[in-house]
Structure 1
Amino acid sequence: AATPVGITALHARQYLNYVSMDCKPAYLHICEGATKLSDGRQDSSTGKLMSYLVSDFVKGILQQLA
Protein backbone atom coordinates (compact mmCIF):
# COMPACT_ATOMS: atom_id res chain seq x y z
CA ALA A 1 0.00 0.00 0.00
CA ALA A 2 1.15 3.51 -0.74
CA THR A 3 -0.09 4.64 2.67
CA PRO A 4 -0.54 2.89 6.03
CA VAL A 5 -4.32 3.33 5.86
CA GLY A 6 -4.84 2.66 2.15
CA ILE A 7 -6.18 6.11 1.26
CA THR A 8 -4.33 9.20 0.15
CA ALA A 9 -3.91 12.26 2.33
CA LEU A 10 -5.93 14.24 -0.22
CA HIS A 11 -8.88 11.84 0.04
CA ALA A 12 -8.75 12.01 3.85
CA ARG A 13 -8.76 15.80 3.71
CA GLN A 14 -11.67 15.88 1.25
CA TYR A 15 -13.65 13.41 3.36
CA LEU A 16 -13.19 15.38 6.58
CA ASN A 17 -14.21 18.59 4.86
CA TYR A 18 -17.31 16.99 3.35
CA VAL A 19 -18.38 15.28 6.59
CA SER A 20 -17.88 18.40 8.69
CA MET A 21 -20.12 20.37 6.31
CA ASP A 22 -22.83 17.72 6.06
CA CYS A 23 -23.12 15.84 9.36
CA LYS A 24 -22.81 18.47 12.12
CA PRO A 25 -20.11 16.62 14.10
CA ALA A 26 -19.50 17.54 17.74
CA TYR A 27 -15.72 17.10 17.64
CA LEU A 28 -12.80 15.68 15.69
CA HIS A 29 -10.59 13.03 17.26
CA ILE A 30 -7.17 12.42 15.72
CA CYS A 31 -4.97 9.91 17.48
CA GLU A 32 -1.25 10.47 17.86
CA GLY A 33 0.99 9.83 14.87
CA ALA A 34 4.40 8.24 15.02
CA THR A 35 6.99 10.10 12.99
CA LYS A 36 9.69 7.51 13.67
CA LEU A 37 9.04 3.80 14.18
CA SER A 38 11.19 1.28 16.01
CA ASP A 39 12.07 -0.46 12.73
CA GLY A 40 13.67 2.75 11.43
CA ARG A 41 10.90 3.98 9.13
CA GLN A 42 10.31 7.74 9.32
CA ASP A 43 7.72 10.19 8.06
CA SER A 44 8.41 13.83 8.78
CA SER A 45 5.10 14.96 7.27
CA THR A 46 2.83 13.40 9.92
CA GLY A 47 2.42 16.59 11.94
CA LYS A 48 1.76 18.63 8.83
CA LEU A 49 -0.95 16.20 7.70
CA MET A 50 -2.62 16.37 11.12
CA SER A 51 -2.73 20.16 10.97
CA TYR A 52 -4.21 20.03 7.46
CA LEU A 53 -6.89 17.59 8.65
CA VAL A 54 -7.86 19.88 11.52
CA SER A 55 -7.86 22.90 9.21
CA ASP A 56 -10.09 21.18 6.65
CA PHE A 57 -12.46 20.09 9.42
CA VAL A 58 -12.74 23.63 10.80
CA LYS A 59 -13.27 25.08 7.32
CA GLY A 60 -16.14 22.66 6.76
CA ILE A 61 -17.75 23.64 10.07
CA LEU A 62 -17.42 27.33 9.20
CA GLN A 63 -18.94 26.79 5.74
CA GLN A 64 -21.85 24.99 7.39
CA LEU A 65 -22.48 27.97 9.67
CA ALA A 66 -22.38 30.54 6.86
Structure 2
Amino acid sequence: MTNVGQKEKLTQQRVIKLFTQELGYRYLGDWTDRANNRNIEEEILSKWLSERGVSAALIARALRQL
Protein backbone atom coordinates (compact mmCIF):
# COMPACT_ATOMS: atom_id res chain seq x y z
CA MET A 1 0.00 0.00 0.00
CA THR A 2 1.30 3.46 -0.83
CA ASN A 3 1.91 6.11 1.80
CA VAL A 4 -1.16 7.96 0.54
CA GLY A 5 -3.20 4.75 0.75
CA GLN A 6 -2.05 4.16 4.32
CA LYS A 7 -3.02 7.69 5.35
CA GLU A 8 -6.41 7.31 3.67
CA LYS A 9 -7.06 4.02 5.48
CA LEU A 10 -6.16 5.59 8.85
CA THR A 11 -8.51 8.49 8.14
CA GLN A 12 -11.30 6.06 7.24
CA GLN A 13 -10.75 4.18 10.50
CA ARG A 14 -10.98 7.43 12.50
CA VAL A 15 -14.20 8.38 10.72
CA ILE A 16 -15.67 4.92 11.36
CA LYS A 17 -14.76 5.20 15.04
CA LEU A 18 -16.38 8.65 15.28
CA PHE A 19 -19.60 7.53 13.62
CA THR A 20 -19.93 4.30 15.59
CA GLN A 21 -18.69 5.27 19.04
CA GLU A 22 -19.66 8.92 19.23
CA LEU A 23 -22.73 9.19 17.00
CA GLY A 24 -24.23 5.72 17.47
CA TYR A 25 -24.17 4.59 13.85
CA ARG A 26 -23.96 0.91 12.90
CA TYR A 27 -20.91 0.01 10.78
CA LEU A 28 -21.86 -2.27 7.89
CA GLY A 29 -18.29 -3.17 6.92
CA ASP A 30 -16.04 -2.52 3.95
CA TRP A 31 -18.17 -3.02 0.86
CA THR A 32 -15.51 -2.06 -1.67
CA ASP A 33 -15.75 -5.36 -3.53
CA ARG A 34 -19.40 -6.11 -2.73
CA ALA A 35 -21.66 -6.96 -5.65
CA ASN A 36 -24.38 -4.35 -6.32
CA ASN A 37 -22.71 -1.82 -4.03
CA ARG A 38 -24.68 1.46 -3.97
CA ASN A 39 -24.56 4.81 -2.23
CA ILE A 40 -28.11 4.33 -0.94
CA GLU A 41 -29.09 0.93 0.45
CA GLU A 42 -32.84 1.13 -0.12
CA GLU A 43 -33.80 -1.86 2.02
CA ILE A 44 -31.82 -0.68 5.05
CA LEU A 45 -33.05 2.91 4.70
CA SER A 46 -36.67 1.84 4.19
CA LYS A 47 -36.60 -0.36 7.29
CA TRP A 48 -35.01 2.40 9.38
CA LEU A 49 -37.55 5.00 8.25
CA SER A 50 -40.46 2.62 8.77
CA GLU A 51 -39.33 1.85 12.33
CA ARG A 52 -39.51 5.58 13.01
CA GLY A 53 -43.10 5.84 11.83
CA VAL A 54 -42.55 7.26 8.36
CA SER A 55 -45.36 6.29 5.98
CA ALA A 56 -44.72 3.93 3.08
CA ALA A 57 -45.73 6.65 0.61
CA LEU A 58 -43.22 9.11 2.04
CA ILE A 59 -40.48 6.45 2.09
CA ALA A 60 -41.13 5.66 -1.58
CA ARG A 61 -41.01 9.35 -2.44
CA ALA A 62 -37.73 9.84 -0.56
CA LEU A 63 -36.15 6.85 -2.30
CA ARG A 64 -37.21 8.15 -5.73
CA GLN A 65 -35.67 11.53 -4.98
CA LEU A 66 -32.45 10.02 -3.68
Q: Same-fold call, TM > 0.5?
A: no
Normalising by the residue count of structure 1, what TM-score does the alignment of the two structures yield? 0.32
Ranked by relative contact order (alpha carbons within 8 Å, sequence separation 6 or more), the top structure is 1
Normalising by the residue count of structure 2, what TM-score does the alignment of the two structures yield? 0.32
